[in-house]
Amino acid sequence: MMTAFLRKYVYTFSILISSLLLARPAKALEQQTADSVQAPEGFRLRTVVIDAGHGGKDPGAFGPNTNEKTVTLALALKLQKAIERDLPGVNTIMTRKNDTFVELHKRADIANDAKGQLFISLHCNSLANRKVTEVVGYRKRKGKSIPIYKTSTVANRSGKGAMILVYGSRRVGAQEEALRENAVIFTEKNYKDNYAGYDPDNPASVIMLNTFRDKYRKQSIRFASLIDSELTGTYNRESHGVKEQVVLVLDHTAMPSVLVETGFINNPDEEDYLTSDEGQNDIVNAILSALKSYKKQLEN
């Protein structure tokens, strides 16, 4: 039986090794997709959670003629139908199916309680207003003309294109908690034989938890990159690429997770695209194609 001293020594050593592995020099997000995303033997992607951003009392960003919650719900419902049509073996869970308000932490809870294997959150981007200073007149002072300035706020409608977000690698506490609460490490058939249950004082459990977290991050980046490639390559959509960002709803999901900023809703041209059948079908089909490729790679 391991002594208390030896257990403490091994535990500390394991934490150190895990920290060093996770603290290795960061590669570009796109380069990390070369890492293996293969799942355990016999794995099947069966549950995808679709999250329509905002809703109810929270409209999200505004465009000239619509708002974010309306666009994201339309996209989410179309994506659900597309998955059910083309991937009948995949079950879809919706965080909302109508114009209702769902708190961010409850969206993650819905995904975790359903034992989701992939989380897709749909949003619209928007640029903040900008300040413009201009000369509105002059006044005389000691025989000189002194300009009079006025600063006003104007809408910045220059934003264009999509962007796909994954959770930031530096904020890991929330996701670790979600992993523990969701008991993801217990999804393997022989987890009791392999791990004898999760024990926070067991170095093997700590290493295992870090391994899951690292694997989900790589899978998130891989899926996000596939969406980005479909949008830009197949549908000629401008994109700002795959970015890391601290997003609460992503941080609290115990599964690979992405947030798709589908476009800048406060740009009239972008809004027309996001509300059109053509634009919505492009976005949905890009995500669906990426999902098919991702599923095939996992189950290879």
In a domain, 10, yes or no: no
Place of tokens 């895990």: 18
pLDDT of residue 210: 59
The residue-averaged pLDDT of 21-46 equals: 56
pLDDT (tens digit per residue) in 161-177: 999 999 876 554 544 44
Cβ proximity of 232 and 238 under 8 Å = yes
Phi, psi of 256 (to 5 degrees): -60, 135
On the question of pLDDT at 55 being above 60, the answer is: yes
pLDDT of residue 107: 94
In a domain, 20, yes or no: no
On the question of pLDDT at 267 being above 90, the answer is: yes
Give the domain extent around 73. Answer: 44-126+159-298
In a domain, 34, yes or no: no
In a domain, 287, yes or no: yes
User: Which amino acid, one-letter code, is at 245?
Assistant: Q
Q: Which residues are within 8 A (CB) of 280 and not within 5 positions of it... i.e. 6 or more apart? A: 74, 75, 78, 274
The residue-averaged pLDDT of 252-266 equals: 93
Average predicted confidence (pLDDT) for the chain? 78
In a domain, 231, yes or no: yes
pLDDT of residue 79: 98
Q: Model confidence at 244, in pLDDT bands (50, 70, 90)?
A: confident
In a domain, 39, yes or no: no
Q: Tally the domains of the chain.
A: 1
- Structure-model confidence comparison of residues 207 and 10, the more confident one: 207
Q: How far is CA 17 from the centre of its chain?
A: 28
% of the chain residues with pLDDT over 90: 50
Domain containing residue 92: CATH number: 3.40.630.40
- Closest by Cα among 213, 253, 270 to 121: 253
Q: Model confidence at 128, in pLDDT bands (50, 70, 90)?
A: confident
In a domain, 60, yes or no: yes
- Closest by Cα among 177, 131, 168 to 26: 168
Cβ proximity of 68 and 54 under 8 Å = yes
In a domain, 99, yes or no: yes
